[in-house]
Structure 1
Amino acid sequence: MTTRAPRIRVQRRPVHGVLLLDKPLGLSSNDALQKVKWLLRAEKAGHTGTLDPLATGVLPLCFGAATKFSALQLDAPKTYEAVALLGTTTSTGDAEGEVLQQRAVDPAQLTPERLAAVQAQFTGRIQQVPPMHSALKKDGRALYEYARAGVEIERPARDIEIFELNLALVGVDQARLAIKIVVKCSKGTYIRTLGEDIGAALGCGAHLSFLRRTDTGGLGVDRCITLQALEALDEDARLAHVQPVDALLAGHQAITLDEHEAGRFLSGLRRRGHGPDAPAVAVYGQQPRALLGVGHVRAGELIPDRLLSPLEIQQILLGVPTGANASPSKTQDTACEHAGTSKATP
């Protein structure tokens, strides 16, 4: 009888920020998240929307305080590069599914004019029927669970927006043709379905053979690190790839508050006299500059939406995983002091 070696328990620590991962092929978004969370020994983590296992590219991973703002990336426009192989449709809309139908592809019919017409057809506000192989839920179960059981669920079409679309005919080999797709789209867009719909519009059908996300909300793949490269680094170098929490807030207007105003805002109180209306603001304290949270300005009033905790602010300012076991009352005093704020009453 063989005995297993005892499992080594990882000592977790607070990590706050965003790591931009170039997700590898074949790995689910959650598996990628758990691997990076283990590599960083992070206490709390979440991702900003799933990428299919057969897709690669930008996957922002949020740690600690950054998880409070992950929903911002869910709503952000995204850019993809894809290849739709013409003439073959599959059960999943990609290369992983069973072949449903094969048709001959006539290159003479795929003129630049026809591609331009199809490109225009799928640009702007359109409706799209979500695929059965998706994580959308029906009666508490994901659609892909029904699909695996051979059950087809009726899905209403949803409004999406294609901001930019470029289609180009490419040769995969001597016998096969494909369409290269570059698309910038709204949330809720399924690129597999877009590839299928483009193939149907061209009269020959198609399925995706390649999918890569190159940008999400202004976070581009050129800023990402691969999982393999991250694994090769030592612990300090891995942490150096964690970007500040406000990397997620590029579209927010910055507002800096003085000591007394910052303390009140951090307590969740509305503040007056902060300029014209703004739907999204990132709020900072002074000396040293510290992110306090996000909010919006309406009728000259700054209204908090999501706030960092005093403990999170303290840990971010100190730059080390300290205070994890500190008592809340003592931590709040220390955090407010470091953020240039103080506990305050209205």
Structure 2
Amino acid sequence: MNAPRTRVVRRPVHGVLLLDKPLGLSSNQALQKAKWLLRAEKAGHTGTLDPLATGVLPLCFGAATKFSQIHLDADKSYEATIQLGICTSSGDAEGEVTSRRPVPTITAAQLEEVRLRFTGPISQVPPMHSALKKDGKALYEYARQGIEVERASRDVNIHSLKIQPGLHPETLDIFVSCSKGTYIRTLGQDIGEALGCGGHLTALRRVATGPFGAAQCLSLETLEALPEVERLQRLLLPEALLPDHSPVTLDGEDAGRFLSGMRRRGTWPDNETVAVFGREPHALLGTAHVKSGELIPARLLSPIEIQQILAASPRSQQPEAIV
């Protein structure tokens, strides 16, 4: 008889875990594993990585989930390998081979011409193997049924692109910094077509998203090996998701009124992105924007969430109540 499974007792956990997503797991599978290891009640991620991709995947817990949507707009950086001459149904090694073509001799001048062609504002047609929805159904669900639907092209921006010969014959390594919504699989396919032979990705790694880089991340194996208290210590505070927000600090009475959703008046300049903090104790209250001297609340933490964050933080011993 199998032993009964131990029930995991969930708890409030607030913060951001910078995960180095492993090969083979979906973003949601990685999230659920980390959520289980932290015994967190609530969790979400800031945009998906394909199962065949690895790299930077910020995971949000508790109060940090309120700001995960903001991070979806962040620029990303990737490293990828293109296998030239072979096209697949998915644009990566997971799909079925759809065509094979000979790979011509490619010169450095040709690579530079292609690099310039795909640097800056470009249009992409999203791949069928993507999570974009049509009529409430993800495109990859249509693709699995062998159905191809029409997709509108979308404008993205390739901030920088480096292309060089790969370690193996008939491969290229690319290094890309780009705007949100860029499909690196599609970029790899388009580069292959521009070189006259087609291609697909055999490796993809996200090395940065917004202010977060791969060197800051830890693996699921490392997280699992840590004592439980040290796992929590690896979380960044929720405000780590707001690096481009201008800070505004409010005193006690104003902080309490702001938390209740009331606008506050001051001498602040107009600003669309503001992170609001309480002064004593110092704690993130939420986000806002300023218009005509009014601080207008957007996403707010609850007093309970603030107390839980302060209680878990070594910077504060017995914080005063924020009401």
Band the TM-score falls in, shorter-chain normalisation: over 0.9
Kept in 1, the 8 Å contact 2:75–2:180? The answer is: yes
Correspondence for 1:338: 321
Q: How does 1:33-182 map to 2 (within 5 A)?
A: 33-107=31-105, 110-172=106-168, 176-182=169-175
Correspondence for 1:10: 8
Correspondence for 1:246: 239
Cα 1:4–1:254, aligned 2, differ >3 Å: closer, same or farther? same
Displacement after TM superposition at 1:300 (Å): 2.0
Which residue among 293, 303, 307 is the counterpart of 1:310? 303
Displacement after TM superposition at 1:134 (Å): 0.7
Correspondence for 2:274: 281
The residue type paired with residue 237 of structure 2 is P
Aligned-residue Cα RMSD (Å) equals: 1.4
Kept in 2, the 8 Å contact 1:87–1:104? The answer is: yes
The residue type paired with residue 188 of structure 1 is G
Deviations 1:305-332 (A, max 9, x none): 1000011011111118xxxxxxxxxxxx
- How many residues matched? 319
Displacement after TM superposition at 1:4 (Å): 3.0
CA–CA distance in structure 2, aligned partners of residues 201 and 274 of structure 1 = 55
Kept in 2, the 8 Å contact 1:252–1:281? The answer is: yes
Greater shift in the superposed pair: 292-301 or 128-137: 292-301
Greater shift in the superposed pair: 32-41 or 94-103: 94-103
Displacement after TM superposition at 1:231 (Å): 1.0
Which ranges of 4 or more aligned residues in structure 1 deviate by more than 3 Å?
none
- Unaligned ranges ≥5, structure 1: 321-333
1:225 alignment partner, SS class:
coil
Cα 1:57–1:274, aligned 2, differ >3 Å: closer, same or farther? farther
Deviations 1:277-296 (A, max 9, x none): 22211100012201000111
Displacement after TM superposition at 1:37 (Å): 0.4
TM-score, with length taken from structure 1: 0.89
The residue type paired with residue 158 of structure 2 is I
Kept in 1, the 8 Å contact 2:269–2:293? The answer is: yes
1:25 alignment partner, SS class:
coil
CA–CA distance in structure 1, aligned partners of residues 275 and 294 of structure 2 = 14
The residue type paired with residue 155 of structure 1 is R
1:62 alignment partner, SS class:
strand
Kept in 2, the 8 Å contact 1:317–1:338? The answer is: no
Kept in 1, the 8 Å contact 2:251–2:280? The answer is: no
Displacement after TM superposition at 1:170 (Å): 2.2
TM-score, with length taken from structure 2: 0.96
1:18 alignment partner, SS class:
strand
Alignment of 1:19 onto 2:17: yes
Displacement after TM superposition at 1:221 (Å): 0.8
Identity of aligned residues (%): 64
CA–CA distance in structure 1, aligned partners of residues 233 and 267 of structure 2 = 35
CA–CA distance in structure 2, aligned partners of residues 319 and 138 of structure 1 = 43
